[in-house]
Chains A and B, each alone.
Chain A
Amino acid sequence: SAVISQKPSRDICQRGTSLTIQCQVDSQVTMMFWYRQQPGQSLTLIATANQGSEATYESGFVIDKFPISRPNLTFSTLTVSNMSPEDSSIYLCSVADGVPEAFFGQGTRLTVV
């Protein structure tokens, strides 16, 4: 399976600021996704990162709040904009490439104060 690296692994941010999370994969992959895991909760899909076009967002998530880039088949970024304490979560990048199962990075633990 692909090796997925996320940066930063954790951060503490002031409310009202933005944080960009990077996801780097060691091989080209077709599908890349961003998930959120709120404290004590399971994973919820934010969006599918589409290479060369706009991301596809799930219900309840919008581009202005979570802009996503995917410039090539190995890299994507997720920005959490205008943060509030409710955005404190673990953000996870995942990839799937020709198989149904998805593989995950280590996650970015975000705390907004």
Chain B
Amino acid sequence: EDQVTQSPEALRLQEGESSSLNCSYTVSGLRGLFWYRQDPGKGPEFLFTLYSAGEEKEKERLKATLTKKESFLHITAPKPEDSATYLCAVTVSGNTGKLIFGQGTTLQVKP
């Protein structure tokens, strides 16, 4: 069965304290791995797509990486506005747009 697991469930950081979120996956035929940001009361906001092991994507203070078994979302020198739930999702071959989500990591950045 295709599965996505994120850790930790919750993370508290001081402003400027860098860290990483983990997303491990077990799927049959990965087509893409996605990172989303979700603020309370809103729908998920797309951040990155990663397709193959070794790929990296960056956006401001966020950097996503992918291996054959897991992905990391690195947050460098976070700010309070980075506080949100970060969701990892995968899609498998032949299932365009159908996503399997992890449970998410809720990040709180304190000033």
CB distance from B10 to the nearest CB of A (A): 11
* Chain B contacts with A in 80-105, Cβ cutoff 8 A: 87, 89, 91, 96-104
Count, chain A residues at interface, CB 8 A: 24
Q: Is A96 within 8 A of B103, CB to CB?
A: no
Interface size class of B (residues with CB under 8 A): 20 to 34
Query: Is there contact, CB below 8 Å, between A107 and B97?
Result: no
Q: Which residues of A contact B (CB under 8 A)?
A: 1, 4, 31, 33, 41-45, 48, 92, 94-96, 99-107, 109
- The residue in chain B whose Cβ has the minimal distance to the Cβ of A47 is B98
Name the contact of B42 in the complex, choosing from A41, A43, A101, A106 (C-beta under 8 A): A106
Alpha-carbon separation in the docked complex, A100 to B103 (Å): 20
- A45/B99 contact (C-beta < 8 A), A100-B91, A101-B32, A107-B42 known: yes
A99 partner residues in chain B, CB cutoff 8 A? 49
**In-complex Cβ contact of A96 among B36, B97, B102 (8 A):** B97
B87 adjacent to A43 (CB under 8 Å): yes
* Shortest beta-carbon distance from B94 to chain A in Å: 11
Q: How far is the CB of B49 from chain A (nearest CB, A)?
A: 5
Shortest distance from the beta carbon of B33 to any chain A beta carbon, whole Å: 9
